[in-house]
C-alpha cells in the first residue's frame, strides 16, 4: 500500500496576512475538506509533525543579510518585504517551521517511511530568491529541501521540482 505523508501544523495559520490574496483561508479550507472526508484517519496517511529548520538549512539557499531582513521585519511588528509579500510578527518562526516540516517530509520519502508527501504549509516559498522575497514567498522551501537532501543523502544527486499552480 502506498503511504502518503501529510504535513500540517496549526501554527502555519500564525503567518497572518489579513485580507491579502495569500492568506490562511487556503489552508483552513483544505484542512476542513480533508477532515470532512476523514483523510487524516485513513490507514495509509501518515501525519507529519514539523520541527523548525535550523538556520544552516535556510542558508543553503538564502543570503545572511536577507534572512536577517525577514527576521527583523517580523520582530518589528511585520509589514511588506516587497510589493506583494507581507509578513506578520510570527511569520519568521512560522517560515522556519514550514521549511523544517518540508525537509522532514523529504527525509521520510528518502528513507522509505512514506512514498510521497503533501505539504500544507504557509508561508509559501517557491518564488523567493537568494536575497529577495517574491510572489508572497519568504524562503524558497522547495529549493532548501532539494539542497538539504542532496547534501545529506548520498543516494540523492538531483531533484526534480515541478511547479504546477494557477499562474
* Selected catalytic residue, list 15, 127, 164, 167: 127
**Active-site annotation holds for 20:** no
Query: Cell digits for 115?
Result: 512514498
Residues 6 or more apart whose Cβ sits within 8 Å of residue 57: 99, 100, 103, 144, 148
**Residue found under cell 544552516:** 56
Angle, in degrees to the nearest 10, between helices 141-152 and 91-110: 40
By CB atoms closer than 10 A (0-12, 13-18, 19+), residue 44 is exposed
Residues that are catalytic: 127
Amino acid at each position: 500500500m502506498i503511504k502518503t505523508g501529510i504535513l500540517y501544523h496549526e501554527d502555519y495559520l500564525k503567518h497572518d496576512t489579513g485580507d491579502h490574496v495569500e492568506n490562511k483561508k487556503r489552508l483552513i479550507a483544505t484542512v476542513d475538506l480533508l477532515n470532512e472526508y476523514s483523510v487524516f484517519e485513513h490507514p495509509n496517511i501518515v501525519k507529519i509533525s514539523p520541527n523548525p529548520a535550523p538556520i544552516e538549512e535556510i542558508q543553503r539557499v538564502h543570503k545572511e543579510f536577507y534572512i536577517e531582513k525577514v527576521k527583523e521585519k517580523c520582530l518589528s511588528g511585520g509589514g511588506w518585504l516587497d510589493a506583494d509579500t507581507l509578513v506578520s510578527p510570527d511569520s519568521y518562526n512560522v517560515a522556519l517551521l514550514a521549511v523544517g516540516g518540508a525537509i522532514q517530509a523529504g527525509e521520510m520519502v528518502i528513507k522509505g517511511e512514506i512514498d510521497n508527501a503533501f505539504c500544507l504549509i504557509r508561508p509559501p516559498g517557491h518564488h523567493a530568491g537568494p536575497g529577495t522575497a517574491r510572489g508572497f514567498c519568504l524562503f524558497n522551501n522547495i529549493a532548501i529541501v532539494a539542497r538539504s537532501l542532496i547534501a545529506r543523502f548520498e543516494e540523492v544527486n538531483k531533484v526534480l521540482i515541478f511547479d504546477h499552480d494557477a499562474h
